[in-house]
A and B are shown apart, each in its own frame.
Chain A
Amino acid sequence: MILLNFRLFSAIMNKQILMNKTHFNLIRELAFTDFKLKYQGSVLGYLWSLVKPLMLFLVLYVVFTRVFRLGDSIPHYPVYLLLGVVVWGFFTEMTAVSLGAIVGKGDLIRKVYFPRIVLVISGGITSLITFLLNLIIVFLFIIFTHAEFSLKAPLFILLIIELFVLAIGVSLILSSLFVRFRDLSHIWEIILQAMFYATPILYPLSLVPSPFNKIIMLNPAAQIIQDMRYLLVTQQTETGWMIMRPMFYIIPYILPFVILIFGYFLFEKSAAKFAEEV
């Protein structure tokens, strides 16, 4: 099937299925344009992507250390929370925006050829830029609150890559399915809501009873959040590899790449008809 797809693609045009320099250029232009437009007209502009996590921290601090004392067992709980919320926020935003990556750009798709995957990647990069700006604020809090750095802290870069791979994979699936099934936006909203509670973002994993905590940690998003907290905030974070037997804790690390590969082929298979169906 893969071979057939490839033959079809290369036959249509003398163009490669793989990206070339032109397409990277297009990704960059589209991503920065979207980012620019996102904050256009507002007084603070780009600053919003810094102010928002700041305000969020304030809210979390008041609610979870003064009102509900959920995380008393965990040091630096507000920062611990903030990191989880920011990571989850990125995943939510990127996948929600990706639903419209193809449908919303119908005008472009019907009139000019370029690999359609460019649209999903550029949308992802726009979200990634905001996320990285948010992380700057998170790092400032980590430093100010004297959270414990693990020696392996630089490994968090690999986690960001894993997170992006996961989000792109999901985005590819969502954006290509949304062309045919417009109900998906509502369904995805519900799934995200459910996943928010099924992921240890607001509550410490230690509060979850035994078999469930392992099931929860099969979710790559949960694994990424817990690993990041372990590396950057406190080593008292309970992670997947602490609670699961050796063979199982690997699953969430592999899953994003499986999703990406599946998403890529699903996307490329549907991409040929986007111009007709959008």
Chain B
Amino acid sequence: MSEDITIKVENLSKTFQIPHEKHVSLKSTALNLFSKKGYETFRALKNINFEVKKGEFFGIIGRNGSGKSTLLKILAGIYVPDKKSGEVVISGKLSPFLELGVGFNQELTGRENLFLGGAILGLSKDEVAEKYDQIVDFSELQEFMDMKLKNYSSGMQVRLAFSLAINARAEVLLMDEVLAVGDSNFQSKCLGEFNRYRSQGKTVILVSHDVSIIQKYCDRAILLKNGEISKIGKAEDVGNEYIYQNMDEEEERLTKEKGNIKKKKSDSETSQGAEKKAEIKKVEFLNKAGKLKNVFKTGEDVVIRIYFDLMKEEGDLNFGIGLYNEENIYVFGTGTIIDKLTKKDKRSILEKGYAQINLKNIQLKNGTYFVKVGIYGEFNSTVYDFLQKSSDFKVFGLQKTLGIVELQHKWETSGSTKLGIENE
């Protein structure tokens, strides 16, 4: 193994055998002695190969059940890879950071727990004693060190555990979504420590399903899908791939779900006293090519199609749409009155049986958007039918800007005229 490589994983596979019914007692073993042994094999990891260089921040990303925790546990030595599969070689002292406060005992004081937890992390008594003040200072728990752990709040326990863990001298750190715990104040402290590790040239393996954390901190990453590496490379690219994969899966899921939902009567309203001359049948979302979709990328075209039934001949029929985000903020709205469609235009809508509006390159951020649709008479005070947020679509974006909309922007500098976002 060359010197600048800290972790080398070669042809790694892991298979779990899950018994149908675990034989934990003698009776069930005896009764099942002669029947076939029923177990399913589950291949959690298949032929994993990667290398991590010294001083690199390496991310492992994937959905729940993709095998990322299994991989981490193998790296930590908790699980043993399949026989005959490849091997894992790690050089340097490794500090598992899978969970904070492993081995802490509620009946012991904070001080005693530091020594016990330290021993589990591989620190000697002298090493803990030497770093004791430093650990306690970082945790800000000076007055509580002689109190039993059971009297600590959960936040205090996390602080104590984290302070100990970051002081365990290790060249390789394995972290499993540790950053997800604690309040925002504590999180920022964790992130500060993270940067300190980086400046010290330590190797960190970070496992998460949060793309933004991986993209922010890691140099390189792998994307796991069903136990296989589906992409390896720069954290930025791997993270984007993950988002797109999620988008496709989300599309599938929503399509299935929507098939089951019928329009509810209570969703639609007609203004009082008005005669119901038209009724909305359904609302569809399509992409530019005319394909039904529920999930769009930022910058794509979204076509909203409103099917309606005309109950009575009507000379002037108007349509309106409104987009709302998850916080119920009115993001955008328009209608045939606002857009001043001519009588002739509206007649063509009536002939087709549906109204269709094309929203060009939607500059919307990540999230779910609800659509309200209305059919009006000559003025929008006469509502024939109005659909409250019964339809929605999702937007996936890769941008990291803030706020509720994505505006095209660029910083003007002497040389570069690069756009802040480049839409596909």
B-contacting residues of A (Cβ < 8 Å)? Answer: 8, 11-15, 21-22, 25-26, 28-30, 33, 36-37, 40, 107-114, 180-183, 187, 272-273, 275-276
- Say whether B79 faces chain A, with CB atoms less than 8 Å apart: yes
Q: State in angstroms the CA–CA spacing of A110 and B298 once bound together.
A: 42
- Cα distance, A26 to B121, chains bound together (Å): 9
The verdict on B119 contacting chain A, using a C-beta distance below 8 Å, is yes
Residues of A near B98 (CB, < 8 A) are 111-112
Q: Is B335 positioned at the interface, with any CB of A under 8 Å from its CB?
A: no
With A26-B119, A275-B78 as known contacts, state yes or no: A13 contacts B83, CB within 8 Å. no
CA distance A111 to B76 in the complex (A): 9
Check: B167 CB closer than 8 A to any chain A CB: no
Please tell me if the beta carbons of A112 and B78 are within 8 angstroms of each other in the complex.
yes
Cβ-defined contact, B103 with A14, below 8 A: no
Residues of B in contact with A (beta carbons under 8 Å apart)? 16, 23-27, 29, 73-74, 76-81, 83, 87-92, 94, 96, 98-99, 102-103, 105, 107-108, 112, 115-116, 119-125
Closest A residue to B28 by CB, please name it. Answer: A183
Q: Which residue of B lies closest to A21 (CB)?
A: B124
CB closest chain-B residue, reference A41: B107
Contact A111 B77, CB 8 Å, known A181-B24, A182-B24: no
Complex Cα gap A11–B27 (Å): 38
Chain A contacts of B120 at CB under 8 A? 26, 29, 108, 112, 114
A107–B78 alpha-carbon span in the complex (Å): 12
The distance in angstroms between the C-alpha atoms of A112 and B174, with both chains bound, is: 11
Q: Which 6 A-B pairs have the closest CB atoms?
A: A113-B77, A29-B119, A183-B26, A272-B80, A26-B119, A111-B102
**Residues of chain A contacted by B123 (CB below 8 angstroms):** 25
Would you give 12 A-B contacts (Cβ < 8 Å), ordered by A?
Answer: A12-B81, A12-B87, A13-B77, A25-B123, A30-B116, A33-B108, A37-B108, A111-B102, A114-B120, A181-B24, A181-B29, A272-B80
Q: Closest residue of chain B to A179, judged by CB?
A: B24
Question: Which residues of the other chain, B, contact A108 by a CB distance below 8 angstroms?
Answer: 102-103, 120
Q: Which listed residue (B26, B29, B91, B107) contacts A40, Cβ 8 A?
A: B107
Q: Chain B contacts of A8 at CB under 8 A?
A: 80, 83
A111 in contact with B78 given A181-B26, A276-B16 (CB within 8 Å): yes
Which of B96, B115, B122 sits near A22, CB closer than 8 Å? Answer: B122
* B127 CB → nearest A CB, Å: 9
Q: Are B25 and A12 in contact (CB under 8 A)?
A: no
Given contacts A11-B88, A183-B26, could you give 8 more A-B pairs where the C-beta distance is less than 8 Å?
Answer: A14-B90, A26-B122, A29-B120, A33-B108, A33-B116, A36-B112, A114-B122, A181-B29
- Alpha-carbon separation in the docked complex, A214 to B87 (Å): 53
Contact for B78 among A30, A113, A183, A187, CB less than 8 A: A113
For residue A191, give the distance in angstroms from its CB to the closest CB of chain B: 14
Bound CA span A271–B26, Å: 21
Q: Give B42 Cβ to nearest chain A Cβ, in Å.
A: 11
A37 to B102, CA, bound (A): 18
Q: Is the CB of B78 within 8 A of A110?
A: yes
The CA-CA distance from A183 to B283 in the complex, in Å, is: 62
B99 touches A111 (CB 8 A): yes
Q: How far is the CA of A8 from the CA of B77 in the complex (A)?
A: 12
B274 to chain A, nearest CB (A): 65
Partner of A33, one of B16, B23, B92, B105: B105
A187→B25 CA distance, assembly (Å): 11
Q: Which of A30, A109, A113 has the most CB of B within 10 A?
A: A113
